[in-house]
Chains A and B, each alone.
Chain A
């Protein structure tokens, strides 16, 4: 089992819709969770970090963490074409481990 798993997609949503990105992880002692956005040919940029169970909102982005289910998600409300990118889930145990990423396309 991979340490961090994501649906590779591609995920396609219409402009204005909610995009839902999911991630599961295998190590129960994980304490820090991150979502990065990576545009093609660019390096990742941090969108959200979450450390405790529940929801964390920042603008149009909401991260959700459920440690019992070893599950973390990212919701993007009112999706825009500029949100089209690959979204990387990362989990920090002893070091940072990245999922393979989910490619999101927001269609105008």
Chain B
């Protein structure tokens, strides 16, 4: 149990376009979902935390108007990178808390975004 999926697994887009990444908890209801970004050879950086039905909480320095997060249900959260630029190219990973195991985070497989 506690499987998290992400779609797409990779995406290449042109500068100025928007990209949507989906994160789903497949076999459990997630109380909270998290979005991370990881640049090459660096650690995970938390971007935002989202709870179903409420606005996401963004980490300092993360532009909420650029990285739109929608948490429509207990099993789905989406991250939209708006007006993407080459510096947004990164590995985006979501994770989710299992309702019965709130201390642990279960990670999705990640989405590699390349902006040309």
Contacts and interface: CB of A to CB of B under 8 A. Distances in A.
Contact of A34 (B46, B104, B112): B104
Contact of B49 (A34, A92, A95, A97): A95
Which residue of A32, A41, A43, A45 has the most chain B CB atoms within 10 A of its CB atom? A43
A98 interface: yes
A17 interface: no
Contact of A88 (B34, B44, B108): B44
A97 B45 CA distance: 9
Given A43-B108, A98-B43, A92 B93 contact: no
A32 B44 contact: no
Decide if the interface of chain B is mainly helix, strand, loop or mixed: strand
B15 interface: no
Contact of A96 (B34, B91, B93, B110): B34
A99 B43 contact: yes
A49 B44 contact: no
B86 to A, nearest CB: 19
Contacts, number: 42
A99 B91 CA distance: 17
B34 A42 contact: no
Contact of B110 (A31, A32, A43): A43
Interface residues of B, number: 17
Given A42-B110, A43-B93, A43-B110, A96 B43 contact: no
Interface in B8-64: 34, 42-44, 46, 49
B65 to A, nearest CB: 22
A99 B42 CA distance: 10
Contacts of A36: 107
Interface of A: 31-32, 34, 36, 41-46, 49, 51, 88, 90, 92, 95-101
Interface of B: 34, 42-44, 46, 49, 91, 93, 103-110, 112
